[in-house]
Amino acid sequence: MRKKSLKTLVFLVFLSLAFYTVLFFYKKKSTATFSSKKSYGTDKAFIWAIKETVQVQQAKKPEALEASQEKIEIPAPAKQILERCPDTPPDLVGPLYVEFTVERTLDEVRKEMNFLKEGGRYKPPDCIAQQKVALIIPFRNRYDHLRHWLYYLHPILKRQQVDYTVYIINQDGEGVFNRAKLMNVGYAEAMKQYDYDCFVFSDIDLIPLDDRNLYRCFESPRHLAVAMDKFNFNMPYDTFFGGVSSLSRDQYLKINGFPNTYWGWGGEDDDIHERIKSRGMTISRPDLATGKYKMIRHQRDLHNEANPNNPFKLRLASLNMNADGINSLRYTVKAIVKDVLYTFITVDIEAPQS
Ligand code: UDH
Ligand code: MN
């Protein structure tokens, strides 16, 4: 009898030892899943701890799933990486119909140009424009022409996929007009605003008759207005560089910009041509069919008489180039107004009174 009860006792001790051994290892494995060290005094607490572990793991599951879905979605934004715009813009239409008999208010023009950003800015949404272009317009008191120019040019520049801004450089006061100095001011002010690599200088009264005449820069300085209606759609003389031209920043700096000293009408465009020639550059041009322009007819403006001294200055063009240009430019900005159609900069250029 004693022997039997001893056997039972040994068996019970063995059983409880086995139970606690199993319990000990089970507990160790479960708590190891927690990174923070927690101690559980009772078995009840231990069971809660296991439940908590399972819940935390379950709660983590959707997170892990989300993370893996995010990884799959990564190529989606990569698809939106824009490519460089093509050499030939795809939406060009060629010859254009242009007339100046319709009266247009600035508000009507604004409503049509709903693709512009403040300052007269645009850049193509689907591709990276080949060049960043500042359009520089020398200006005073030509508001009729301004409306026509904006109405026609903005849609053309959009089709040409240019990243551009229109700068109207308005000469303040009644002094003698100076087209080339205003263009220098346009260059200097534009460069303060954006990293332009090309500058198109245009009269306010010239509208291209073909949108394949690209408003951008080329290997050499470019003359765009090669076939104006007022010259029977021809060049008035071989070295003509007036009306509309484009120079890259490098080309412009190579000639120290434009002369500041041509007051009144005439000669400054020929001076620029001389500068380009004397720096060993050639002139690039579109053909006569693509380079057609219509000029809004006008009389010569007040305070912009033909200056009889200008032809003499022209002989000294290459000599004066290093001292008269962007490096000697002096002016005072009076106001900068950013309209949706243009950036309008009024400037005092220290003009002599006529
Ligand atoms: N400009 C102004 N305001 C002025 C003078 C000139 O905005 O008071 C600007 C404007 O951008 C203009 C450019 O400077 O387009 C060149 O001036 P212009 O248009 O007077 O030059 P263009 O060679 O005129 O076209 C020559 C005089 C035409 C007289 C014809 C008489 N039948
Ligand atoms: Mn004109």
Each residue's pLDDT, cut to its tens digit, for the chain (354 residues) gives 455 665 665 555 555 555 555 444 444 443 333 333 333 333 444 333 333 333 433 333 344 334 444 555 555 556 679 999 999 999 999 999 999 999 999 999 999 999 999 999 999 999 999 999 999 999 999 999 999 999 999 999 999 999 999 999 999 999 999 999 999 999 999 999 999 999 999 999 999 999 999 999 999 999 999 999 999 999 999 999 999 999 999 999 999 999 999 999 999 999 999 999 999 999 999 999 999 999 999 999 999 999 999 999 999 999 999 999 999 999 999 999 999 999 999 999 999 997
Q: What is the three-state SS of the chain?
A: CHHHHHHHHHHHHHHHHHHHHHHHHHHHHHHCCCCCCCCCCCHHHHHHHHHHHHHHHHHHHHHHHHHHHHHHHCHHHHHCCCEECCCCCCCCCCECCCCCCCCCCHHHHHHHCCCCECCCEECCCCEECCCEEEEEEEECCCHHHHHHHHHHHHHHHHHCCCEEEEEEEEECCCCCCCHHHHHHHHHHHHHHHCCCCEEEEECCCEEECECCCCCCCCCCCEECCCEEHHHCCECCCCCCCCCEEEEEHHHHHHCCCCCCCCCCECCHHHHHHHHHHHCCCCCECCCCCCCEEEECCCCCCCCCCECCCHHHHHHCHHHHCCCCCHHHCCCEEEEEEECCCCEEEEEECCCCCC
**Cα 21 to ligand 2 centroid, rounded to whole Å:** 103
Any idea which ligand is nearest the CA of 168?
1
Q: For ligand 1, pick from 142, 148, 201 the residue to mutate: most ligand atoms within 8 Å of CB.
A: 142
pTM for this model (two decimals): 0.80
The answer, yes or no, to whether any atom of ligand 1 lies below 6 A from the CB of 222, is: no
140 within domain boundaries:
yes
116 within domain boundaries:
yes
CATH number at residue 330: 3.90.550.10
Domain of residue 208 covers 106-296+304-348
pLDDT tens figures, 153-181: 999 999 999 999 999 999 999 999 999 99
Which atom belonging to ligand 1 lies closest to the Cα atom of 179?
14
59 within domain boundaries:
no
247 within domain boundaries:
yes
285 within domain boundaries:
yes
14 within domain boundaries:
no
Q: Which residue's alpha carbon is nearest to atom 12 within ligand 1?
A: 203
26 within domain boundaries:
no
25 within domain boundaries:
no
